[in-house]
Chain A
């Protein structure tokens, strides 16, 4: 079963085509990584899929709901962990989770239960009463993902979740993401090749708004003619027609 069906999705900003005719299907429970250099169209794609930006043309169905015609239904099945830190700084970790549960319409009891479960699941109990603004970058990212997960989304967008984190914090976050695999459909954007390789079921490579390659890590390496993911990526991006 397909969780996401993208059909000829295009976003044009005046003279710039940020995303051009993107067509792609992502299976339910799959972890799909979008790779690309800066300006490749990854973030614009996520913004369109999460109803933050309207497409210029084309459409996408998320769990059967159109991002063009059924934005509110789409919003009820998705969650986004944005690229930048997106936490309420004066609220505690628990209050941040309660905020997200509340804006998704959870009752007080359901919210409390969901927060308890999420704090335990993402090992946040040691910082649960701390103000989010005072946490380290790693903890804030972990909280950011917890805030996205609290609504039990069917589709989760992780936009560069480990950007700027140290090796240890990144490794811990990888464990968290691995644990989510199969439970939600995850779309992950990243600049780190090893991250995509380690976590993804399939990888898509974008260049100047177009999807130029798509497959498993092994398929991508074969396509790029290298055993190393990074070299394969560079070969594919350099070799793709402008």
Chain B
């Protein structure tokens, strides 16, 4: 009950910030519309070679990219709470460390799912074939969402709210975009860039989501291991960093 009260407050803080809604829902929707419009205007002969922006490939990529905003939301909220002494006040209330960690994490899960659902609904309007695999894609997005939310918990525990804007708002969204294979085929770049991308979770999250949407369950697993591994590592680091700053209060 105590944790749920805290979680509800966090959801309200995030959802009442108009900029959050604009970026969290609006930005992925605009990108999806824009790139679909580009795809529609590519000459027929080029379309056969350039399939990256086909809705079946584009929509899963945008859903993953959109989750990078969950990191920004989560990190900004925590960093601001630390900066305004609200967290200090709450630390004197009978809440446990796990109440705080769950309270910051749980509200962002339904928000992530809602963002993903909006992307797929728009994708359906843009020509995505309605199949049951969309439900599988919604399920497989969950570990990706936890990874991004945990990254926010980690950044919010370490950085100030101004630093969070730079690290999560600029750096992470760019990393998440360039190293994910959403906008261009990583094989075309190759070399160290491709190797670095393969060692990071972003491209695996996108490929897993694409496999899920295509109903290719065998294709999900190898990428799921990468995502789960990064999720566990980030979550552990986030819990450690949060407890450390809690102790420092």
Contacts and interface: CB of A to CB of B under 8 A. Distances in A.
Partners in one complex: yes
Interface of A: 47, 50-53, 72, 75-76, 78-91, 95, 98-100, 102-105, 131, 147-148, 151
Contact of B85 (A72, A78, A83): A83
Given A85-B85, A88-B13, A99 B6 contact: yes
B15 to A, nearest CB: 9
Interface in B153-177: none
Give the interface size bracket for B toward A. 20 to 34
Given A85-B84, A86-B84, A103 B13 contact: no
Nearest to B10: A88
What 10 pairs between A and B have smallest CB-CB spacing? Answer: A102-B5, A86-B85, A90-B16, A82-B85, A84-B85, A86-B89, A80-B92, A103-B93, A75-B94, A50-B92
Given A103-B5, A103-B94, A105-B94, A80 B89 contact: yes
Contact of A90 (B5, B13, B85, B93): B13
A53 B92 CA distance: 10
A197 to B, nearest CB: 27
B114 to A, nearest CB: 18
25 contacts: A51-B92, A52-B88, A76-B94, A81-B89, A84-B85, A85-B85, A86-B88, A86-B89, A87-B84, A88-B13, A89-B13, A90-B12, A90-B13, A90-B16, A90-B17, A91-B12, A91-B13, A91-B16, A95-B12, A99-B6, A102-B4, A102-B6, A102-B8, A103-B95, A105-B94
B86 interface: yes
Nearest to B89: A86
B94 to A, nearest CB: 5
Given A52-B92, A95-B12, A84 B84 contact: yes
B91 interface: yes
B249 A53 contact: yes
Contacts of A131: 16
B9 interface: yes
- With most chain A CB atoms within 10 A of its CB, the pick from B1, B2, B5, B90 is B5
Given A80-B89, A86-B89, A95-B12, A105 B84 contact: no
Interface of B: 1-2, 4-6, 8-9, 12-13, 16-17, 84-86, 88-95, 249
A88 B88 contact: no
Given A75-B94, A76-B94, A85-B84, A99 B9 contact: yes
Contacts of A105: 1-2, 94
Contacts of B90: 103
B42 to A, nearest CB: 43
Contacts of A148: 89
Given A95-B12, A99-B6, A147 B92 contact: no
Contacts of B93: 75, 100, 103-104, 151
Given A91-B12, A99-B6, 15 more contacts: A52-B88, A80-B88, A82-B85, A82-B89, A83-B85, A86-B85, A86-B89, A88-B9, A91-B16, A95-B9, A95-B12, A99-B9, A103-B93, A105-B1, A151-B93
Given A72-B94, A91-B12, A102 B88 contact: no
Contacts of B2: 102-105
A153 to B, nearest CB: 10
B92 A75 contact: yes
Given A90-B17, A99-B5, A52 B85 contact: no
Nearest to A157: B92
Nearest to A101: B5
Contacts of B12: 88, 90-91, 95
A163 B89 CA distance: 17
Contacts of B13: 88-91
A81 B88 CA distance: 10
Nearest to A147: B89
Contacts of A84: 84-85
